[in-house]
Amino acid sequence: MILRSKVKDLLEMEAGREVLAKGWVRTKRPSKEVAFIALNDGSTIKNIQIVLDRNEENAPLLAAISTGACIAVRGQLVESVGSGQKVEIKASEIELYGACDPVRYPLQKKDTSFEYLRTVAHIRPRTNTFGAVLRLRSQMAFAIHEYFHSRGFVYLNTPLITASDAEGAGQMFQVTTLDLANVPRNKKGQPDYSKDFFGRQTSLTVSGQLEGELGATALGEIYTFGPTFRAENSNTPRHLAEFWMIEPEMAFYDIKDNMDLAEDFIKSLVRYALDNCREDITFLNDRYDNTLIERLEGVVNTEFVRLAYGEGIKILKAAVEAGHKFEYPVDWGTDLQSEHERYLVEEHFGKPVILTDYPKDIKAFYMKQNEDGKTVRAMDILFPKIGEIIGGSEREADLAKLEGRIDELGMSRRNLEWYIDTRRFGSCPHSGFGLGFERLLLFITGMQNIRDVIPFPRTPKNAEF
Ligand code: 4AD
Ligand code: MG
């Protein structure tokens, strides 16, 4: 019995052996005496060519094989006479696992736009582009674990269901088993969450950071890597309601150590992609954006700019004075819009920028306050074409200052007592950041829309598949 070989491996083998391949038909092209079938099994962007004799015996089978059909092919691996491939399979036996109705098959040549493919997201992994993107996604997840594992970071699993709003931005999806048609109410007429599943109001997490800090203040250096959820009504090419985030948190790191790690981390990931995913990246580069590889190499080989928010605002205001038009106004104290971030990165500096020391009022409660009383030790990494790819900070380690900030923002201390305990019992300087996995993938694949780098995107009014 011969075992199945993957297409990726078959393409590397020497000709002259009996092989078994299984996969989905990409194209079928009859010629005079033989038919050529391009077969793909997802192991590589490349197809293996199958050559089948066009005789009477094979005719019904050949008629039943169309694009999208699933087949098993037994045959001889031979040197290919045609150009484009070293070897091909001279088929001796083909088994049709599943035919594919050529009329109803959603992947037709006539519409291959990304917008259309999102409506058939259950089938789009079968296209070259999404095969490449999804293989890259998997490779990068592995690279992330390897990066931290090799540096002694502990992989910490933080909860998805939570009773606290880690970012304090009120963008949470509620989790409840209460009967929405008949909500139990307390004396004030509000929903009585003591009757809910967890006996309190709960939501899907927006970040694992708070629990990450608990881990870091015991294990030293940890990272999380999991799904996070934001009920922000942002219909942009860079926002998802469900996205994956990597959040390292490190005891004894100050803001500079934090920036150094973040810069090294992201460069290592891009280098990993260039070194290990060359075929898929080359495909995306050649097909959609022939500056992709150049951009990736540029990031690996450049030192990121480090700039205080206040300095960034000065540059942006100077640009406005010189006649540059932004949709949103810029002034000290306002949050930067993606057009501002991209101006700094793409037009002013021409490389990634780490922006630090943001006004405290536009950042979360847990960030370490600077001596000026106005800014916090925040750091956002801004990338070409993406804008913010990483957000992080040194954390407020001082109990009184942290409590003061929570009160100032009108947040409930009671819900956060467990978190505040880290500052009561052996508080330490510490820092961390969050990398949006899909934003990283946007950069690495050169795709334009975040919906196209996650298999099944969740966005406002869209939760199909
Ligand atoms: O800047 P954010 O909100 O920071 C945090 O959540 C911190 N707790 C991180 C930390 O310090 N541990 O989010 C971090 C990153 C952003 O820079 C962005 O890349 C990504 O997460 N992100 C999103 N990605 C896709 N869709 C969204 N709606 C996103 N919101 C944030
Ligand atoms: Mg942010």
442 lines ligand 1 (CB under 6 A): no
pLDDT, tens digit, for every residue of 57-106? 999 999 999 999 999 999 999 999 877 789 999 999 999 999 999 999 99
Q: What is the mean pLDDT of residues 298-327?
A: 97
446 close to ligand 1 (CB < 6 Angstrom) = no
Distance from Cα 223 to the centre of ligand 2, integer Å: 18
Q: Which pLDDT tens digit goes with each residue over 352-370?
A: 999 999 999 999 999 999 9
pLDDT at position 85:
85
Tell me if 131 CB under 6 Å of ligand 1. Answer: no
Q: Give this prediction's pTM.
A: 0.97
Model confidence pLDDT, tens digit, residues 154-202: 999 999 999 999 888 889 999 999 999 999 999 999 999 999 999 999 9
How far does the centroid of ligand 2 lie from the alpha carbon of residue 158, in Å?
19
228-278, pLDDT tens digit by residue?
A: 999 998 899 999 999 999 999 999 999 999 999 999 999 999 999 999 999
Q: Where are the alpha helices (DSSP H) in 95-154?
A: 114-119, 128-149
User: What is the share, in percent, of the chain residues with pLDDT greater than 90?
Assistant: 95
On the question of pLDDT at 110 being above 80, the answer is no
Length of the chain measured in residues:
465
Q: Give the ligand at the shortest distance from the Cα of 230.
A: 1
**Sign of the C-alpha dihedral, residues 295, 300, 303, 304?**
positive
Average pLDDT of the chain to the nearest whole number: 96
Over residues 430-454, the pLDDT tens digits come to 999 999 999 999 999 999 999 999 9
Distances (CA, A) of 412 to 13, 165, 312, 420: 64, 10, 33, 12
Give yes or no for a contact between 269 and 147, defined as CB atoms under 8 angstroms apart: yes
Residue 363: helix, strand or coil by DSSP? coil
Q: In the predicted model, what is the mean pLDDT of residues 290-300?
A: 97
The residue whose CA has the least distance to atom 18 of ligand 1 is: 436
Share above pLDDT 70 across residues of the chain, in percent, rounded to a whole number: 100
Q: Is the CB of 23 under 6 A from ligand 1?
A: no
pLDDT for the residue 18? 97
With contact defined as beta carbons under 8 Å apart, do 238 and 459 qualify? no
pLDDT tens digits, residue range 393-423? 999 999 999 999 999 999 989 989 999 999 9
- Examine the pLDDT at 143 and tell me if it is beyond 80: yes
Question: Rounded to the nearest whole angstrom, what is the distance from the C-alpha of residue 71 to the centroid of ligand 1?
Answer: 43
- Ligand 2 centroid distance, CA of 352 (Å): 16
Region 10-20 average pLDDT: 96
Atom of ligand 1 nearest to the CA of 386: 19
